[in-house]
Structure 1
Amino acid sequence: MHITFFSVWMTVLWSSILVLIYYVLRTKYELIDICSVSGVIVLYLFCMMRMVIPVEFSWTKVLFGGTLYNKIYYFFCIERNIGNDISVFDMLRFIWYLGAFLILLHYVIQYVKVARYFGDMPVQRNSKAAQIADTIWNGSKKPDIIQIAAVKTPCCFGILRKKIIIPDKLYTEEQLRFILLHECSHLKNNDILVKNLINILCAFYWWNPCVYLLKKDLNQSLEIRCDLTAVKELDLQLKGDYLAVILNEYKDSLKTGKSAGLRYDNPKLLLERFQLVAKEKCILVRKGIILAWIISICLLLISYSFIFQTKYEAPKEDIETEQNAYEVNTNNSYLIKVDDGTYFLHIQNKDIPVDEEGAQKMIEAGFNIIVKSEK
C-alpha cells in the first residue's frame, strides 16, 4: 500500500465523478427515494473516505492509460522546466500544499475564535428550554442550553462539550420544542463533527470544485435529515407549525450577515427542505440505508481495483548496450522454418536456432516466416 501520482489522480477522478452523479440524482430526488436521506449521507461520507485514502494496494490492477496519458504524465512529471531540477508537478504540488496549509490554518484560527467567543460571553440559562431538552435527549452528556443576545438564529456547537445556543427572544413552548428537536438531532448524529471534517477536506482539496459541491449538498442533506427526524411523529398541522418556525428563523437570519446560525443565501435550498417535509411517504427507511452501505462498499472496492498508469517502450540505446547486442523486431528479422520442423531467427545476416515454443510466440507477434527445404 503506497501513495503515488497515479493513486492521487485516481482518487480525484473517482471522487469527483461520484460526487457529480450523487448530486444530480439527489437533487432530482431519485437517490433519496432509493436510498433515503440517511443513505445519501452515507454515500457522501464514503466519497470523503475515498478522498482521505489516496493509496494503491498490492492487489490493484495496473491498466495502460493510453498515448495521451503518457504525454500528460511526461509534461507534468518528467520534463524539467526550471533549472533541470523542478518539474511542473513539483511546482503544482508546492502550490497545493501551501494553499492547503494556509486555508487549514485560517479555519483553525476561526474555529478557536468562535469557541472563545461563546466561552467568554456572558450567558443566561433558559430553564424552560432545558426542561424540554431533557424530554428529547435520551442519552448521557446532555447539551447545555444557552441563550445569547448576540445570535439571531438557533445553532449548535461543540463536538465533545455540546451546546445549543438560542437567541435571547421570546419563544412559545411549542416553538422551543421544534427548535430543540432540530438542534438535538444535529448533535445526536454528530453532524458538527461531519461538518468539521468536510471543512478540513475542502482545505486540502481546495483546488477541486467538486469538493465544494460535496460540502454544499452534504450540509443540505444533514439539514433535511434533521427536519425529517423532527417531524416524523407529527401530524400535518404540526408539520406546518414546524415549517413556520423554520421560516421565521430564516427571515431573522437575513437581517444580519453575522448570524451564528445557519443562513441560506439560496432560498431554493430552504424550499427543498419544505417540499421534502411535506412529502407524505417516509424517506428515512432502514432498507435505503442498508442499500446505500452496499452500494458504497462496492464502489469503494471497485475504485481501488484498478489504476491507470503510463507505459513506455525502452530506448534502443538501453537495449543495445554491447556491440553484439541488437534489438529484435519484425522490421530487422524474420523466421526460417526447415522441413524437419526446426526454426531459425535470421538477423544481422546470421541464423540463430529458436525452439518451437519461442517460434510460435514470434509468429503470433507478427514475425514473417520463410519455409526452406534444408538448412
Structure 2
Amino acid sequence: MNFSISSLLITCIVSTLLIVLLNFLLTTKKNYRFVRSNVIIALSFIIIARLCLPIEYRFTKTIPIPFLMNPLMTFLTYPLILDIPIYVILISLWILGILFNLVRYIRELLYLNRMLKKLEEQSEICKIKNLLPDYNGNNYDVLITSYCDSPKVLGSKKVIILPNIHFEEDKLQIILMHEIKHIENHDYYIKQFVNFLTITYWWFPPVYILRKNIDLFDYYGVRSPLNTAK
C-alpha cells in the first residue's frame, strides 16, 4: 500500500462519481420508494473510507493512461520557485490550508461551547419525562429558551434545546423523539468526522456536496422518525 499522485487522482475521480450518485439518490424524492436506507449508509461509508485512505492497495490493478498521466507528471515535477517542484508547492499549500481551517474550526467549537454554557445559565432546564410522562428511554436534559427559534441538539452534550413557545402534545412528542434520535445515532460525532474530512480536502469541491448530503440524510432520511410519524 502506498500513497501517490495517481492514487490521489483515482480517489478524487471515484469519490466524485459516488458523491454525484449519492446526491442523486438523496435529492430525487421518487428514489425514496426504491432505495433502502442501508444502500445510502453503505454508499456514504464507501465514499468516506475512500477519502480517508487515498492509497494504492496490493490488489489494485493499475490501468496505464499515458496521454493523461505523462503530461500531468511533467507539469507537477516541473521546478518553479527556487527549483522547487510544483507538486511540493501544492502539497505545502494543502497542508497550510488544513492548518488554517483546523484552527478556525477549533475556534468555532470553543465559541459554541461558551454559548452553550451561557444558554444553560439563562434557560429553563427540565427532563424529557417532565414533558413526555410516558417516555421510557434515556431521560435527557431539555433547555427551554427564547434565544433559540427551532429545536436542536447543540454541541457534544446530550442536551435538547427547545424554543420557548407552545407546542401541541403530539407535535412536541414528534420533535423530542426526532432530537433524541440525533443523540442516540451519535450524529454530532458523525458530523464532526465529516467536517474534519472537509477540512482535509478543503480544495476538493465534491466533499462539500458530501457534507451537505450527510446533513440531508440526517434530517430527512429514514434515520429520522419524522418521515414515519403520522
Range of TM-score over shorter length: 0.7 to 0.9
Supply the distance in 1 between the matched residues of 2:69 and 2:202 (Cα, whole angstroms): 24
> What is the one-letter code of the residue matched to 2:150?
T
Distance 2:45 2:133 in 1: 30
1:75, 1:231 → 2: CA distance? 51
Q: Which residue of 2 aligns with 1:64?
A: 64
The match for 1:143 among 140, 144, 149 is 140
Between Structure 1 and Structure 2, the one with more strand by share is 1
**Counterpart AA for 1:97:** I
Q: Does 1:174 align with 2:162?
A: no
CA displacement 1:266-287 (0-9 Å, x = unmatched): xxxxxxxxxxxxxxxxxxxxxx
SS of corresponding position for 1:166: strand
Q: How many Å separate the matches in 2 of 1:40 and 1:133?
A: 32
Which residue among 145, 152, 156 is the counterpart of 1:155?
152
Matched, 1:111 2:106: no
**Partner residue of 2:88 out of 76, 87, 90:** 90
26-35 vs 162-171, greater mean Cα deviation: 26-35
- Secondary structure of 2:107's counterpart equals helix
* Offset at residue 169 of structure 1 (A): 2.4
Residues paired across the two proteins, number: 228
Q: Which structure has more helix as a fraction of its residues?
A: 2
For the pair 1:198 / 2:194, whether they are aligned, the reply is yes
Letter in 1 for 2:110: V
The answer on whether the counterparts of 2:37 and 2:222 sit within 8 Å (CA) in structure 1 is no
Unaligned runs of 5+ in 1: 240-375
The answer on whether the counterparts of 1:152 and 1:167 sit within 8 Å (CA) in structure 2 is yes
1:337-372 Cα shifts (integer Å, max 9, x gaps): xxxxxxxxxxxxxxxxxxxxxxxxxxxxxxxxxxxx
Task: Find the aligned partners of 2:30 and 2:55 in 1 and give their Cα distance.
Answer: 32
Change (3 A) 1:199 1:134: farther
Larger radius of gyration: 1
1:20-78 Cα deviation digits (max 9, x unpaired)? 122124323465333324531331232112101112222222221222321111111x2
Structure 1 partner of 2:27:
27
Residues 133/45 of structure 1: CA separation in 2 closer, same or farther (3 Å cut): farther
Structure 2: give runs of 5+ residues left out of the alignment. Answer: none
Runs of 4+ in structure 1 deviating by more than 6 angstroms, as ranges, are none
- Show CA shifts across 1:106-134 (max 9, x none): 1121112111211233132235x443457
Correspondence 1:330-345 to 2 at 5 A: none
TM-score (norm 1): 0.56
- SS at 1:145 equivalent: strand
